[in-house]
Amino acid sequence: MSLNAESTAFRSALEVIRAVEPRVADAIGAELADQRESLKLIASENYASPATLLAMGNWFSDKYAEGTIGRRFYAGCQNVDTVEALAAEHAKELFGAAHAYVQPHSGIDANLVAFWAILADRVESPALKKAQVRQVNDLTEADWFALRRELGNQRMLGMSLDAGGHLTHGFRPNISGKMFDQRSYGTDPATGLIDYDKVAEAAREFKPLILVAGYSAYPRKVNFRIMREIADSVGATFMVDMAHFAGLVAGKVFTGDFDPVPHAHIVTTTTHKSLRGPRGGMVLCGPELADQVDRGCPMVLGGPLPHVMAAKAVALAEARRPDFAGYAQRIVDNAQALAEGLLRRGAKLVTGGTDNHLVLIDVSGYGLTGRQAEQALLDSGIVTNRNAVPQDPNGAWYTSGIRIGTPALTTRGLGAGEMDTTAELMHTVLSQTTPGANADGTPSKAKYVLDPALAETVSKQASDLLAGFPLYPSVDLG
């Protein structure tokens, strides 16, 4: 029997790799097998198409291409220009943006490009120019303090980590927290929802240069029209990080006040997650910031990754197809079905449900920490990640929450019925897991007790559920 093109391509690739380092080939095959057998509920993961995956493994990987289209610091980049232009064209058409910069290697890189573009546009300072040519790792805390002082001690206001914000929105462990004097807005303690009046109050008091909206663990929509009005009221640049929900914007599930592109001065995103592309980042903006954004390399980035830009062009072309809108809507439908299934079984959910692709479970209702719940679920064939909940007593390492999302399972074709079954499997594991103890008998936030037979049973049930929805059915590795 003849093999199809996808199977031939991946088999041949693994054969070539195996001839050099068989352990790498084995690990690649094992990863596909693991993903096929596990209920992947990590909200920031998805499954890229074979075409997108194959676009990354080619001769573009050999090219240096610092600069921008038509203005490279290296010769021989005409083909890189082609794929970068295609990726930018698809991004602009897909999101209705005036300008797209597709070089960032990740979401963090995209945010750094945006931050420095805003600073360069808004702030005139000799210290800024010095910082751009120095090695960032050589800057001490005192250097950063002096730089912030010279830059006017520029301020950033963003969502707090425990409310669902992201590390790159001004928090100390990240470089954004060293660049800016940062303050956070949270959510209403009673509802878990953004209180826009409180955000406006914080903006009036703090007067930030940048107001950041966007999240990694907030299960509701954000009204970007109101956020832009708040930014305008204090003269702030309004930036939106839509890394998590870009696919819902591309698929026109989030429109009007909930589409950030018409309202923000600048928008950043990843290209994986709900957008279902390769791992990478992107910046969208209007013409007023385009020149500064295009200086991302060498201002923040090193050489762009042409092979990943090629894959971005493929994935963005896929997202422009009519069926992507249906996929995006099913992501939300599935998330809501999963949330309803958990609620019926007594789970405690942050905000009581979801409007988007993710659900945040407060597992303290099961008597567990997030770390205990994450590992017990993994033992049972269900892949999730622990996450802080608002005012989390266990902090960001152990946490009290589990974040789950539906982009990946929706890609496999699972629907509302399967989401209810998934909720049942998760509830079974969480309700039958108990906290463990340390060697000295004190309670542990990491150790747990779960009957291995139960874990094996649930893992088998998860595998049986997925059997009807094969992952990469066109790929047979033999």
Same domain, 140 and 157: yes
Q: Are 312 and 130 in contact (CB under 8 A)?
A: no
Q: Is residue 38 part of a domain?
A: no
* pLDDT reported for residue 154: 84
* pLDDT reported for residue 65: 93
Same domain, 203 and 259: yes
> Which tens digits make up the pLDDT trace of 412-449?
999 999 999 999 999 999 999 999 999 898 999 999 99
Residues linked to residue 419 through DSSP beta bridges, in sequence order: none
Q: Is the pLDDT of residue 310 over 80?
A: yes
Burial 203-235 (b: 16+ CB within 10 A, else e): beebebbbbbbbbbbbbbbbbbebbbebbeebe
Q: Is residue 182 part of a domain?
A: yes
Q: Is residue 5 part of a domain?
A: no
Tell me the mean pLDDT in the region 297-316. 93
Count of domains forming the chain = 2
Tell me the mean pLDDT in the region 336-353. 97
- Just list the catalytic residues: 64, 66, 241, 270, 273, 279
Among 269, 292, 319, the domain-final residue is 319
Same domain, 135 and 149: yes
> Which tens digits make up the pLDDT trace of 116-168?
888 877 765 455 555 554 444 566 777 667 666 665 568 899 998 887 788 77
Among 271, 288, 319, the domain-final residue is 319
Residue tagged 């905000």 (tokens): 351
Cα-only R_g, the chain:
23
* pLDDT reported for residue 133: 46
Same domain, 234 and 89: yes
Same domain, 107 and 212: yes
Same domain, 329 and 197: no
Please report, as a single letter, which amino acid is at residue 38.
Answer: S
pLDDT band at 9 (very low <50, low <70, confident <90, very high): very high
> Which tens digits make up the pLDDT trace of 44-103?
999 999 999 999 999 999 999 999 998 888 999 999 999 999 999 999 999 999 999 999
Same domain, 327 and 312: no
* pLDDT reported for residue 362: 97
Tell me the mean pLDDT in the region 352-357. 97
Half-sphere exposure of 193 (CA within 13 A, CB side): 13
CATH of the domain at 285: 3.40.640.10
* pLDDT reported for residue 97: 98
Tell me the mean pLDDT in the region 197-217. 95
Q: Is residue 2 part of a domain?
A: no
Same domain, 228 and 117: yes
pLDDT band at 396 (very low <50, low <70, confident <90, very high): confident
CATH of the domain at 406: 3.90.1150.10
* Burial (Cβ within 10 Å: 0-12, 13-18, ≥19) of residue 21: exposed
Range of the domain at 160: 59-319
* pLDDT reported for residue 157: 94
Mean pLDDT across the chain, nearest whole number? 92
Same domain, 302 and 358: no
* pLDDT reported for residue 163: 79
Tell me the mean pLDDT in the region 282-311. 92
Structure tokens at 18: 């195996």
* pLDDT reported for residue 175: 74
Same domain, 272 and 335: no
Question: What gap in Å lies between CA 367 and CA 434, rounded to an integer?
Answer: 7
Q: Is residue 392 part of a domain?
A: yes
Same domain, 349 and 281: no
Among 319, 337, 363, the domain-final residue is 319
Residue tagged 């996929």 (tokens): 327
Question: What gap in Å lies between CA 182 and CA 446, rounded to an integer?
Answer: 31
Q: Is residue 387 part of a domain?
A: yes
Question: What gap in Å lies between CA 103 and CA 117, rounded to an integer?
Answer: 14
Q: Is residue 104 part of a domain?
A: yes
**pTM of the shown model:** 0.91
Q: Are 250 and 319 in contact (CB under 8 A)?
A: yes
CA distance from start to end of the chain: 12
The three-point CA angle 465-470-474 to 5° equals 175
Question: What gap in Å lies between CA 398 and CA 236, rounded to an integer?
Answer: 35
Same domain, 233 and 375: no
